[in-house]
Structure 1
Amino acid sequence: MHLNPIQLFDTESSTFTYILAAPGSPEAVIIDPVDRHWERDLRHLERLGLKLAYVLETHAHADHVTSAGKLRELTGATAAVPSGCGIATAETQLNDGDTIRFGAGETIAVLHTPGHTAGSMCYVWRGNVFTGDTLLIDGCGRTDFQSGSADALYDSVTGKLFALPDDSRMWPGHDYKGQSVSTIGWEKRHNARLADRSREAFVKLMGELNLPRPKLIDVAVPANQNLGLPHGG
C-alpha cells in the first residue's frame, strides 16, 4: 500500500527532505533534513500533531549540512545513519537488511546501496523507496569522490533497486529539473544513465562526466559526520 510521504525541498542544494507518518500513531520519521530548515520541519510536525521518532540519513552529504543533531536535541528522536559513513555521533548505525520500526507497526527496510558513497543507504516503506543520491529521476548520483564507485553503483541500482516491484514509488534525494517522484519501473525502462546500459558503458559514462567539485564539500562532509553540530557539540 502506498502512503505518500510529505516531501519538502531546499532550493539552494535542490535537496528533498521527507516526513513519514501513518494513521494510528503520532510517531514520524524524517529523512535527510537540511540545517537551514529545522524550524520549518518542526512546524510541519507540530501542525500535523506528529512526534519525531527517528532522523534518518541516506549518506554523509557533500552539498548541504544536515539538521539531524539539532532535531535530535530538540525532539529526543533517535539518529539512525548508514554504518559505513563515519557518522560516529549517531546512536544507531544501520546495516543492510536492518528494519526500523515506528508508529503502529510501521517498518522501514534498510538497503545498503554503495556507489555514490561507500556507505549510502536507501529506505523502503509502504511501497515507497527513498533513494538518496543513489538513484535520481532519469539519472543517478555522481561516483567520483567520497569513496564513490561506478561499478558499485551499477550493482546497487540494477541488483537491489531495480529488483523492487515496478510500481514502487521512487523518491530521490535531489532533483534539479522540477520533478518530484518516479517509479522503479519507469527508471528501469527509461533512466538516461542506467536503462539498457551495460556495466562497462555505465562505468565509462560516469568516468567522463567531469563534474565540478561540490562547493560545500569541505565544510559539509565533516559537519555531517557530526550530525551537523559543531564538533564537541
Structure 2
Amino acid sequence: MIFEQIPTGGCQSYLVGCEATRAAVLIDPEFSQIDRYVGLAGQLGLHVRYIVDTHTHADHFSASHELQKLLPAPVVMHRLSPAPYADLRLDDGDMLIVGELRLQALHTPGHTGDSMCLVMADRVFTGDTLLIGGTGRTDLPTGDPHALFESLFDKLLKLPREMLVYPAHDYKGRTHSTIGDEIDANPRLQKTDRAEFVAMMQSLDLSAPTHLTEALRTNMSGGKTVAQLLAEASAKVPFMSLAELHSRIGGNSRDIVILDLREKDAFEAGHIPGARHLPRGQLELRVNSELLDPTVRILACCEFGKISTLAAATLRELGFTRAVALDGGLTAWREAGYELEA
C-alpha cells in the first residue's frame, strides 16, 4: 500500500494507493493544497479513482469540488450530504474498491449528520468523529451528542483495539493513534454512560470556527469562497503600482480615469487627486452614464485593493478592456506618503 498523510495546519488529508494497480483514493482534501495533491499523485504514478469527504466540513474549505474537475474523479460522500456535487453517495456498509484495496463506509453521525468513517484492513479514517484524545464537537449544524455516543460506543470502539486511527484533524503534531489507545486514554471516551457523555458534550464551551459560515456555504453548495473570487479576478486584470500612478498624476496625464469605488463618506474624507467617485454597489447600474468611452484606461481603486480587483474584472467583462486595479489600494497610497485631496 502507498500511504501519504498530508497535514495542513490542523487538518489531515490522506492519499492512499494500491501498489499493484496504482489506483488511489484521496480522503478529506483541503482547498489550499490542491496543487500539492495533484503533484503528489503524479509523482507517485497514482490515478485517483475517488475523492472522499468524510463529512461536510465547517472549519475549512474542501478541495473536492475543484479536484473533481482537475483530476478528474468522482466525489464520494455519505448519502445524507447536502453537497450537490457529490457523484457517489454511500450508505452504511457500502464499500469502495481501489485496486486491491477495500474501504468500507461506517455511517457515524454526531459531529454532523452525514459523518462517515472509512475502514480498511488495519486502519480507520475517522474524519471528525473520533480524534486523538478527543472527539468531534456536536454544537454545529446537524450535530447531535446522542448520535455521536452511539457512533462511538456502538460502532467505532467495537473495532479491533490494534486498528490504527487516522483522524481529519490534529493540532498537536500527532499522526495517528489506535482504537485501544483511545479507549484507554481519551478523556471523552471515559464517559461511557450516555447521559453523562451527552451532558459533557453539551457543556463544552467552544468558540465557533473562524470560517464557519463561509465553509458551510461553500462545502454544502459547491459555491466559491471569497478567496477564489479574488484569485479568479486577479487572473483577469493587470495592476498599476503606486509609483506609476503617482508619476502619471504628477505629469498631468489625461489618458487614465481614476475610479474610486468606496462609499461617499470615505471618498469625501480624502481621495487620490483627480479621482471620480462611483460606489462599487452602483457600478453596473451607472457605468454607461459615468464612463462614456469604453476605450479609455480605467484605474479602479478602493481601500485595500480587493474590491477594486473584483470591480476591474467586472469592467473588463462589460467591455472596458483597459481596466486595471491599483495595487494595495488607498491604504498603501497613504502609507507611501502620497497626497490626497478632499
Length-normalised TM-score, structure 2: 0.64
| Aligned residue number for residue 207 of structure 1 | 202
Could you list the per-position Cα deviations for residues 6-48 of structure 1 after superposition, in whole angstroms to 9, with x for gaps in the alignment? 111111xx11000111221111100000111000111111111
CA distance in 2, matches of 1:166, 1:196: 18
CA distance in 1, matches of 2:148, 2:107: 11
Could you list the per-position Cα deviations for residues 86-138 of structure 1 after superposition, in whole angstroms to 9, with x for gaps in the alignment? 112111111111111121x3211000000000110000122110000000001
| Aligned residue number for residue 129 of structure 1 | 124
2:246 matched to 1:225? no
Sequence identity (%): 37
The code of the aligned residue for 1:33 comes to P
| Aligned residue number for residue 14 of structure 2 | 18
Give the Å deviation of 1:5.
2.8
- Mean CA deviation greater in 133-142 or 176-185: 176-185
Q: For 1:155, what is the secondary structure of its paired residue?
A: helix
Q: If you compute each CA radius of gyration, which structure gives the higher value, 1 or 2?
A: 2
The code of the aligned residue for 1:124 comes to V
Cα distance change, pair 4–177 in 1 and its aligned pair in 2 (3 A)? farther
Give the Å deviation of 1:227.
4.4
Equivalent residues in 2 for 1:80-229, closer than 5 Å: 80-103=76-99, 105-195=100-190, 197-227=192-222
2:29 matched to 1:38? no
Runs of 4+ in 1 over 3 A off after TM superposition: 226-230
The answer to which structure, 1 or 2, has the higher relative contact order (CA under 8 A, 6+ apart) is 1
| Aligned residue number for residue 7 of structure 2 | 9
Q: For 1:73, what is the secondary structure of its paired residue?
A: helix
Match 1:73 to one of 69, 75, 82: 69
Length-normalised TM-score, structure 1: 0.92
Give the Å deviation of 1:195.
2.7
Q: Is the 8 A contact 1:67 1:227 kept in 2?
A: no
Higher share of residues assigned helix:
2
Could you list the per-position Cα deviations for residues 170-205 of structure 1 after superposition, in whole angstroms to 9, with x for gaps in the alignment? 001101122110001111111110135321111111
Cα distance change, pair 228–59 in 1 and its aligned pair in 2 (3 A)? farther
2:43 matched to 1:54? no
Q: How many residues align?
A: 225
Unaligned runs of 5+ residues in structure 2 are 226-342
CA-atom RMSD in angstroms: 1.4
